[in-house]
Structure 1
Amino acid sequence: MIRTEGLTKHYGRITAVEDVGLDVREGDVYGFLGANGSGKTTTVRMLLGLVLATSGTIEVLGRPMPSSGRAVLPLVGSMVEGPASYPGLSGRTNLALIDASGPGGDRATRAGRIDDALAQVGLEGVDKRPVRAYSLGMRQRLGLAAALLRRPRLLVLDEPTNGLDPQGIREIRQLLVDLNAAGTTVFLSSHLLAEIEQMCTRVGVLDRGRLVLQDELAHLQRPTGRTVVRTPDTDAARALLDGHVEHQEGDTIWVRADDPLALNAALVGVGVRVLELAPERRTLEDVVLEAAERSGDRR
């Protein structure tokens, strides 16, 4: 769905993006993660042909960009750097103008598509209100509605939950998951680890303009080979597991063990009270920090 090779952008002597090779596959919910200022928005703008790359190649939906923009963009819904709108016009009128001005807008189906998009983002009750009266979160929802107008094969979203309250974030997260389940590939740029971790299937991490990590989220968070055990009987547990305990904090011990079920049976069998026992998995935060440190060491 999206593939880049050697994607680089210079602004004078400043390198905003360097040698980025994205691989976004059909059916992905791809999380493009990086701190503010890491080059995420510049990358997204290049993907959509809004900014020309200094060097490198871009393919979107199997077609080169930006040269194939007229054929590709009607199949892509996007929101970059917040939604644009005419403040004095209603949300519905803004969507009608956006649909009419873009390539591939079908006038015969416009009203129905606007109704569907407004309903999907929860704005159907306020669609006739002028946008100047919208909160930041409502404007963000309107931008998402605009991205959904053409029922796209690919959604490219830059910080889509910016300005939303927790309930709104949950609703948008569920919307994106549902759209993906119905066949839409989602490319989600964000600086929020929790947002990426809760909904994405693949992750790319950008650090100071370079892609330092790209993999399946499930693979990144695979078990470490250690088991976390919480018990009030730590002394008895340590005595039984002599040589296999690698760390302890209070009533929690980390044990090098291949079979958590066998470990639990062994502990319970000698009377150790097990309050919690589970394989240890790496957090996305751990993975990202390690990748950034490795990248810094190579510079």
Structure 2
Amino acid sequence: MTTVIATSGLVKRYGRVRAVDGIDLGVQQGDIYGFLGANGSGKTTTVRMLLGLVLPTSGEIELLGERMPRAGRRVLHRVGALIEGPAHYGHLSGRENLSLLDASGRGGSWRTRSRRVAAALEQVGLGGVGRRPVKAYSMGMRQRLGLAGALLRRPELLVLDEPTNGLDPQGISEVRELLLDLHRDGTTVFLSSHLLAEVEQLCTRVGVLDRGRLVLQDRLATLTAPTGSTVVHTSDPDRVRAALDGRVTSVEGERVIVRGDDPAEVNARLVAAGVPVHGLALERPSLEAVVLAAAGASPDRVDVRR
């Protein structure tokens, strides 16, 4: 598997403060990588270093197999990015802003520029905005325009910092589907966010940053793999205890945790004993539980809204 983003001992100091403290990122081709952390944990600083916008204090960065920031001119035209919200000329339309952005890079022939701009606007749901100036856009529309700018050059790697900021639930869902479509077409996505629900629904791998340190990095499927226990939903937890002879490890209301990773076997024993069963499933840790355990944080450090 080809490594798309790799850092080694990456550090960024501001005076005595270590905003980023020796992190080793590894993003593989084909990942949708969720870079999680509370606001102020160092996510945006890391992303800016990856793209050569901020120089690291120490450590190494490779982007698409090239050393950064030295190889920026060779690499960055293959990368689409949206960092810290989009920046646009308010008196120009979205179409005009994207045309200027396309002209400033290596997006392709000027003869096909209008086609590329129209396609990018259509992708993010702004195909019908016409000549309306960007200063009249809502926050969500400006975020969509920023995404369109990141997609102009059909990037191999898409780096996004809080891409759903300012979007309503429908907009968040549409951006999620857009990123999944891009991923299916071969784009690797690096997504910085503090929203666990967004990452859990979208990403294949996760890195967790806490106060500048990378405290967790693994495949999402591994982090949320079954624990070896079964969750039983029942109106009579006491009868579950009696029927399963010491296999019950915890009870929370009508939710009973039972040792054993075969729900069918558990169900058969309970039904034979006449225990009412409303549902069974393998127990899996939530991403919220995994992140909070790794970061040693209280729930208000990372947004766990669903």
TM-score bucket (shorter structure): over 0.9
Any unmatched runs of 5+ in structure 2? 298-306
Q: Secondary structure at the match of 2:222?
A: helix
Is residue 252 of structure 1 aligned with residue 243 of structure 2? no
Q: Secondary structure at the match of 2:257?
A: strand
Q: Secondary structure at the match of 2:98?
A: helix
Tell me which amino acid in the other structure corresponds to 2:64: L
Q: TM-score, normalised by structure 1?
A: 0.96
Asked whether the equivalents of residues 154 and 185 of structure 1 are also in contact (C-alpha less than 8 Å), the reply is yes
User: Paired residue for 2:267?
Assistant: 264
User: Paired residue for 1:297?
Assistant: none
Q: Distance in 1 between matches of 2:97 and 2:5?
A: 29
Q: 1:127-183 CA distances to partner (integer Å, 9 max, x unpaired)? A: 421000000000000000000000000000000000000000000000001100110
Q: Distance in 2 between matches of 1:252 and 1:218?
A: 24
Alignment match of 2:128 (pick from 106, 119, 125): 125
Once the two structures are TM-superposed, the CA of residue 105 in structure 1 deviates from its matched residue by 4.4
User: Paired residue for 2:235?
Assistant: 232
| Most deviating of 109-118 and 144-153 | 109-118
User: Paired residue for 1:284?
Assistant: 287
Once the two structures are TM-superposed, the CA of residue 292 in structure 1 deviates from its matched residue by 1.0
User: Paired residue for 2:304?
Assistant: none
Query: How many corresponding residue pairs?
Result: 294
User: Paired residue for 1:200?
Assistant: 203
Q: Secondary structure at the match of 1:123?
A: coil
Asked whether the equivalents of residues 261 and 282 of structure 2 are also in contact (C-alpha less than 8 Å), the reply is no
User: Paired residue for 2:161?
Assistant: 158
Q: Secondary structure at the match of 1:222?
A: coil
Once the two structures are TM-superposed, the CA of residue 233 in structure 1 deviates from its matched residue by 2.9
Is residue 81 of structure 1 aligned with residue 84 of structure 2? yes
Once the two structures are TM-superposed, the CA of residue 104 in structure 1 deviates from its matched residue by 4.7
Q: Distance in 1 between matches of 2:145 and 2:137?
A: 9
Tell me which amino acid in the other structure corresponds to 2:40: G
Q: Distance in 1 between matches of 2:289 and 2:239?
A: 31
Tell me which amino acid in the other structure corresponds to 1:126: V
User: Paired residue for 1:40?
Assistant: 43
Asked whether the equivalents of residues 250 and 258 of structure 2 are also in contact (C-alpha less than 8 Å), the reply is yes
User: Paired residue for 1:170?
Assistant: 173
Q: TM-score, normalised by structure 2?
A: 0.94
Q: Distance in 1 between matches of 2:156 and 2:238?
A: 57
Aligned-residue CA RMSD (Å) = 1.1
Is residue 11 of structure 1 aligned with residue 4 of structure 2? no
Alignment match of 2:23 (pick from 20, 24, 30): 20
* 1:60-139 equivalence runs, <5 A: 60-139=63-142
Q: Secondary structure at the match of 2:274?
A: coil
Any unmatched runs of 5+ in structure 1? 295-299
| Most deviating of 241-250 and 281-290 | 241-250
Q: Percent identity?
A: 67
Q: Distance in 1 between matches of 2:76 and 2:261?
A: 50
Q: Distance in 1 between matches of 2:104 and 2:153?
A: 12
Q: Which runs of 4+ in 1 moved over 6 A?
A: none
User: Paired residue for 1:52?
Assistant: 55
